[in-house]
Chains A and B, each alone.
Chain A
Amino acid sequence: MSLLKVRFNRWSHLFLPLSVLVILLLINLIKGVDYFKITMVNGVFYGNIPNILFGAAELVILSIGMTLVTAAACGQDISIGESGAISSAIFVQYVLNAGEVTIWTILAGFLLSCVAGMLIGAFNGTLVSYFNVQPMVATLILFLGGRSIAFIIDGKVSPILANPISNQIGTFIPGVPIQTPIILTVVFIVLVAVVLKTTNLRLYVEAVGVNPSAARLNGINPKKIIFLTFLIMGVCSAVAGFLAVNKAGRHDSVNLLKFIMMDAILAVALGGNSLAGGKFSITGSIIGAYTIEVLNRTLLRLEVNPEAIKAFKAVFIIILMVIASPVVRAFARKLLDKAKTIVTGDSVRQTGALDEAVVSMTDSSGKEE
């Protein structure tokens, strides 16, 4: 019983993001029962669910980085789309200048773009951690200037990435039934999970986010931790840029990952994370990211007029945010408790008897030994 309770408490913060997602899925199911239908096309799974997983790949990766930045720096990085555009521009230039394109050129270009992403993260991180600039103000610099930089790296045009390997990264590898961006997203999530499990990153980030002074007194350098989260954000941006540019097959510095920071911040908030920093849940943010993707597609599925689609999205988001807000959450908990007491009120004796039976059973088994 208590173990179950511990487990429930550990996952209870996911209850609301999940419930929001479930509501959206239900709406989709009501619209048409074939929503979860998956078929095979050219040896690859095809259907609404694969489409959602495919479409949300970049957003999921960016929302992971955004969660960490939000938790430690108590603010948001609004230049993620631009840093993705810059790092992917470097990737594209490397690949185009490499001559023959092999898997190794792509890999080298990818690593190079990750380094570029980390440099951008270091720039933002330095401003935020060592110069105490507000994160949103610090990242505003690249938000405004980043696309021009990417444009210049591109040689003032939008270069084409029409090689078969890029195409396979953006679509699917023959013989593999799942689209490559989905696989790469999963790999990235697993990597992040491993890092969080094997290091003290979570503890340090949360400590810094909750109270930097207390963290410093306990031997954690808040500046370093905040800087580190921006570095990770840079890597996330580079990976997202890599996925986006391979999906698109050409580098459009103007529109690549444009305004995606809005959705990433929203994903963090929908995931039940406080935008003022502190404790965080990456699982929540990932669910939030998928929720946003599902929301976008739900509006299309409901055949909302294109003129009205933004207004509808805004209304939906307000409703979702209210559902996911602490006030409603507290209210729901109170309601749940009340319901529990009403239900358990007249079944107290039954459970009491059950507990006794369990105790006696364990007792007897203990005796036998």
Chain B
Amino acid sequence: MKRLTRVGLLLLGVVFVLSTVCGMVAAEELIRVGIVNLPPEESGYRQANVEDMSRVFSRENGYDAKQTNTADVNEQMAAAMGYIRDGVDYLLISAAHASGWDDALLAAKRAGVRVILFDRAIDTDPSNYEAALLSDMHYEGQLATDWVLNNVPEPINLILIRGQLGSAAEIGRSAPVLNAAQEGKLNLVWDGTGGDTWSLEEARKVVEAAIAAGKDFNVIYAQNDGMAQGAVQALEAAGISHGKNGKVKIIGFDFNRFALRNVQAGYWDADVQCNPRQAAQIDQWIKSGNIPAGIVYQEEIILDTDTIIDEHIENYGINPDPGKGVITR
């Protein structure tokens, strides 16, 4: 009996997830859109992204939208094919994997379905899709690197904590730092990674190792907010000052609201946006009928202790807000 209820609960969970995907009645006057996305539980970013898609591509807004959220690229392709057969007007894709999409894209082309990529690029000929609205990871990295070069007193001794090695975000966000180091504008005193899970604990260990090795550093450049948090925990334990009036400057990425509050409180120094809200822009493209060709990068910003205000945190942040003045250690 116990087992049955538990299995039942599990099934309920599965049904709950699936039910968000289904539920459509075709109506002629609505714009028909098929959205192929990753599952919201992938990250705080994706949660905000999926929520934003559902909010903008709603019936009230004139859309008949169907969403598939899966991390399996084959399921994604199957879903895309399904939408093409259903005869949608637009197909929006955030691909789990960048390669292997040619068949699906060509099928869309033949069927006259216009494809718009969002968040993640696909390795294919640009003629196979209409437009792609992406985050420029390299630009984000450049924003952070420029901030370091302009705000940290010389000599700049930087600890780099990378994300999952080889991921687009890691490559893009690392390149400007590595370039600056090569040009002699800053010293890269430690090069570490939080591993495939962008792990807080791993980041903490990286900084602990740097401290144990007696490295002198004044910037920590962590490629997401969780790793920046882990790095700061290591500094706190070692009694090294950081933040606005401290020795070590802390930079994170992704605009988690807790991270922005930490910046606001001067506990960290800066955070770089990675905007998950592409839906409004795509909506405007579709409604105006004026879809640009090729890759379009979103405009993203960096906020530091001087520039940050509450509205930024409210409008641009992801994940819950711990509240003004609350520091997440």
Point out residues on A near B: beta carbons under 8 Å. Answer: 32, 41-42, 44, 46-48, 51, 54-55, 119, 122-123, 126-127, 130-131, 141, 145, 147-149, 151-152, 156-160, 162, 167, 170-171, 179, 247-250, 252-255, 258-259, 296-297, 300-301, 303, 305-307, 309
B44 touching A41, Cβ below 8 Å: no
Shortest distance from the beta carbon of B45 to any chain A beta carbon, whole Å: 10
Q: Which of B28-36, B89-97, B102-110, B319-327 contacts A (4 or more CB under 8 A)?
A: B319-327
Kindly list chain A residues whose C-beta atoms are within 8 Å of the C-beta of B233: 171, 247
**Known A42-B239, A145-B13, A300-B192: A258·B197 in contact at CB below 8 Å:** yes
**Known A157-B44, A160-B258, A258-B199: A46·B328 in contact at CB below 8 Å:** no
Kindly list chain B residues whose C-beta atoms are within 8 Å of the C-beta of A162: 258, 322, 326-329
Closest to B192 in A: A306
20 extra A-B contacts, CB within 8 A, seeds A248-B226, A250-B258, A309-B193: A41-B237, A41-B238, A46-B237, A55-B204, A119-B6, A123-B6, A127-B3, A130-B3, A145-B13, A151-B41, A152-B13, A156-B40, A157-B320, A248-B229, A252-B200, A252-B226, A297-B209, A300-B208, A305-B191, A306-B162
Point out residues on B near A: beta carbons under 8 Å. Answer: 2-3, 6, 10, 13-14, 16-17, 39-44, 47, 162, 165, 190-193, 197-201, 204-206, 208-209, 212-213, 226, 229, 233, 236-239, 256, 258, 319-320, 322, 326-329
Q: With A and B bound together, what is the CA distance between A307 and B195 in angstroms? A: 10
B193 touching A306, Cβ below 8 Å: yes
Which single member of B10, B16, B41, B329 contacts A249 (CB below 8 Å)? B329
**Known A167-B329, A306-B193: A249·B229 in contact at CB below 8 Å:** yes
Closest to B48 in A: A157
B193 touching A253, Cβ below 8 Å: no
Q: With A and B bound together, what is the CA distance between A315 and B239 in angstroms? A: 35
A297 touching B205, Cβ below 8 Å: yes
A-B CB contact pairs (8 Å), 11 listed: A41-B239, A55-B201, A130-B3, A141-B10, A156-B41, A162-B327, A248-B226, A296-B205, A300-B205, A301-B212, A306-B193
Which single member of B2, B40, B204, B212 contacts A122 (CB below 8 Å)? B2
Which single member of B14, B41, B191, B329 contacts A253 (CB below 8 Å)? B41
The dominant DSSP class at the B interface is helix
**Known A141-B10, A148-B13: A159·B201 in contact at CB below 8 Å:** no
Which single member of A126, A149, A258 contacts B3 (CB below 8 Å)? A126
Kindly list chain B residues whose C-beta atoms are within 8 Å of the C-beta of A159: 320
Shortest distance from the beta carbon of A164 to any chain B beta carbon, whole Å: 10
Q: With A and B bound together, what is the CA distance between A255 and B45 in angstroms? A: 13
Closest to B209 in A: A300
Shortest distance from the beta carbon of B237 to any chain A beta carbon, whole Å: 6
**Known A148-B17, A158-B320, A255-B200: A171·B209 in contact at CB below 8 Å:** no
Shortest distance from the beta carbon of A36 to any chain B beta carbon, whole Å: 11
Q: With A and B bound together, what is the CA distance between A147 and B13 in angstroms? A: 12
Q: With A and B bound together, what is the CA distance between A141 and B7 in angstroms? A: 10
Shortest distance from the beta carbon of A51 to any chain B beta carbon, whole Å: 5
Kindly list chain A residues whose C-beta atoms are within 8 Å of the C-beta of B322: 160, 162
**Known A42-B239, A126-B3, A297-B205: A255·B226 in contact at CB below 8 Å:** yes
**Known A157-B47, A160-B322: A301·B209 in contact at CB below 8 Å:** yes
Q: With A and B bound together, what is the CA distance between A298 and B125 in angstroms? A: 45
Kindly list chain B residues whose C-beta atoms are within 8 Å of the C-beta of A170: 329
A171 touching B258, Cβ below 8 Å: no
Closest to B326 in A: A162
**Known A152-B16, A162-B327: A248·B200 in contact at CB below 8 Å:** yes
B328 touching A160, Cβ below 8 Å: yes
Closest 7 CB pairs of A and B: A300-B209, A41-B239, A151-B41, A306-B193, A160-B322, A255-B197, A258-B197
Residue with the greatest number of chain A CB neighbours at <10 A, chosen from B6, B192, B209, B322? B209
Which single member of A119, A303, A307 contacts B213 (CB below 8 Å)? A303
B40 touching A306, Cβ below 8 Å: no
Kindly list chain A residues whose C-beta atoms are within 8 Å of the C-beta of B198: 255
Q: With A and B bound together, what is the CA distance between A137 and B256 in angstroms? A: 36
Kindly list chain B residues whose C-beta atoms are within 8 Å of the C-beta of A46: 237-239
Q: With A and B bound together, what is the CA distance between A203 and B212 in angstroms? A: 44
Q: With A and B bound together, what is the CA distance between A254 and B198 in angstroms? A: 10
Which single member of A48, A126, A147, A250 contacts B2 (CB below 8 Å)? A126
Closest to A166 in B: B329
Q: With A and B bound together, what is the CA distance between A47 and B190 in angstroms? A: 19
Kindly list chain A residues whose C-beta atoms are within 8 Å of the C-beta of B13: 145, 148-149, 152
Closest to A122 in B: B2
Q: With A and B bound together, what is the CA distance between A55 and B26 in angstroms? A: 55
Closest to B258 in A: A160
